[in-house]
Amino acid sequence: MDPDDIANVFPLDLDATKSVLVEGSGRESWLYRVTESKLVPEGEPVGTVYIVDTRAGGMVACHPHIVGDDLKTLCREAANHFVKAARAVRVLTEDAVILHILRAGAGYMVAEVMKGAPIVDVRTEYRTDGYRAHSDDPRRLVVSYRHYPEGLNEAATIVVPDTYATGRSAEVALLDLMGNGFKPDRIILYGFIAVPALVRLGALCEEHGVDLHSFAICDLAQLAHNNYDMCIYGPDESLYKETRRRRALGSVIDRATLQRLLPSYIPGLDQPGDWSERQSLLFDGVTNRSGNIRGHLVKSIGLIETLMGMNAGEEWYTETHEAAANAELGLLRKRLMDSGDLQLK
């Protein structure tokens, strides 16, 4: 498949990335600076945006069957490359503090790489939303837990590893932090990032006089109708399910990244998936709790089967796409079977 052929169908920006050399990155990691993009609203103060493309991050984005300890290993590998890249461009300092928005933040494994860094824990919870549905209404978000270490006000840089869809959770957590007397000079975002979150958090940082630097895994994605899904490219399944209207989604992505991921990516698939539920164990503000891995696997099978039905018959849909979907379905079912939980036809 040719990236330009896909870009002729979906809103992909392949021309908004500039390669940044990171010494020692080898063939496992590539860093790109995002220049002006047609997918980012003009004039919005989004700060400095990078894409950190790693082999490990691409595996996580394309393969929802990767869960538990396997996911942890890949996330640690990706976090290593992120930390190296952020230090190479002189954004990340040794005295940085990590903000974990519970439960998802710790799953990105940044704290495992930045050993000894102080950790702030804040839990924000959607009171009414469920799987693959996030409200854009901040009144539905509450802070249910916070833990701030002593000496926090002395830190100038805060690193926030998280999944950024609307950006509401991060906005609430950061406002809570600032409301408790801490105002950083710089905020660094890392994780799967959607454009609306970048716009929202860029506005927040500008309002408070804070420099924003973002490191998106693989791509900077558009956001689906459900305010949750972030795909590299593909149909907006949530919009089609609700209205039977079709909408094409895309992302800002380097041409080389897209070329590498095309054979294994299922168009329309949410890259982070049900992030917290993919994890073996995460702190929720009360205790360490296992994710609902089985539920994630079953839901991923259902979503892929739906996407295959939507995509079948489309002119752009190829045998390679079909093979990727069938291969992932096989791996998801094997993962369930290996755990003794397979109850599917």
Per-residue pLDDT, 217:
98
At residue 329, the pLDDT reads 98
Distance between CA atoms of residues 113 and 86, nearest Å: 13
pTM, rounded to two decimals: 0.94
Instruction: Report the pLDDT value the prediction gives residue 135, as an integer from 0 to 100.
Output: 53
Determine the Cα–Cα distance for residues 273 and 295; give it in Å rounded to an integer. 11
Express each pLDDT in 184-217 by its tens digit: 999 999 999 999 999 999 999 999 999 999 999 9
Map out the domains of the chain with their CATH numbers.
3-338 (3.40.50.2020)
pLDDT less than 50: residues of the chain: 134, 341-345
Rounded (10°) CA dihedral 156, 159, 164, 169: -60
Q: Are 48 and 213 in contact (CB under 8 A)?
A: yes
